[in-house]
Amino acid sequence: MNNSETSTVTEFVLLRFPGSQEMQIFLFSLFFGVYLFTMMGNGSIVCAVRWDQRLHTPMYILLGNFAFLEIWYISSTVPSMLANIFSETKTISFAGCFLQFYFFTSLGTTETYLLCVMAYDRYLAVCRPLHYPTIMTLQLCYLLMFLCWLFGFLSYSVPTVQLSHLSFCGPNIIDHFMCDMDPLMSLSCAPAPITEIVFYILSSLIIILTLLYILGSYTLLLIAVLKVPSAAGQRKAFSTCGSHLTVVCLFFVGLLAMYVSPTSENPAELQKIITLFYSVVTPFLNPLIYSLRNKEMKAALKKVLR
């Protein structure tokens, strides 16, 4: 295939959710409301951690960084999805499509790494409380956050470049609300099994290994909590760690369904719903989960809102 044939596609068409004009208005209102709440909720957590001196501890600094990440994560898809609902052409440029794919996967990967660090922080706090202040210093906390972002954005840099160099000579219609691996691979003119295998092996390793690490950390934590003689101490530990585990379950269920189990045979609408679950619903629920289950965070958020 010559170069002229491989460069015919200069833009992609992203299909919106099916439905009448009234349904499109409803979906726009729904997603716009979810996006605003997510930005305000996570933004409030970032401000609370930044302004309240009592929250300048590793656990809350990690939580503030996590909320900051969620703002960017949902912003990588929802604004373009909202613009696409009422767009006549519903197109996204070739470069824009792969930039969206890169930032979406990189931010999602950063989130898996950051959840591991948060699990490690809780493990130290509960299982090694006497050594916690000397191990989890602010310097180590900031270093771990930096490494999460660094490796999060490095992990999919090569697969994204490989994917962008595939042959796309038409059609250019993506039956999804964003640019993702499966829809893009299906539009490639020439088979690229190596690129596809590398992507899914990398995705499976990242998702499964980080999930196993998190579950292992919380298993050790649970064993330690059950040994605490004080019922009040047990409730406090369960309350703090329960919110973390809730976020982990919500986020990883969608990732496992989308990137570890085979999805190429699933209907396009099901893939859209799964993607919405971990890319929109999870960032939307995080402020509620963390603020409602944490007294210190609730107090700090009240001060911010006043």
Helix (H, G, I), strand (E, B) or coil at 77: coil
Q: Which residues pair with 173 in a beta bridge?
A: 13
pLDDT tens, N- to C-terminus, the chain (306 residues): 344 444 477 899 998 777 788 888 999 999 999 999 999 999 989 998 998 888 899 999 999 999 999 999 999 999 999 998 888 888 999 999 999 999 999 999 999 999 999 999 989 988 888 999 999 999 999 999 999 999 999 999 999 999 988 888 878 898 888 998 888 888 888 777 888 888 889 999 999 999 999 999 988 888 887 777 766 666 766 666 777 788 888 889 888 888 877 655 667 778 888 888 889 999 998 888 877 667 777 777 777 776
Give all domains of the chain, ordered by start, each with its CATH number. 11-305 (1.20.1070.10)
The token duo for 238 is 């369960």
Enter the pTM of the model: 0.90
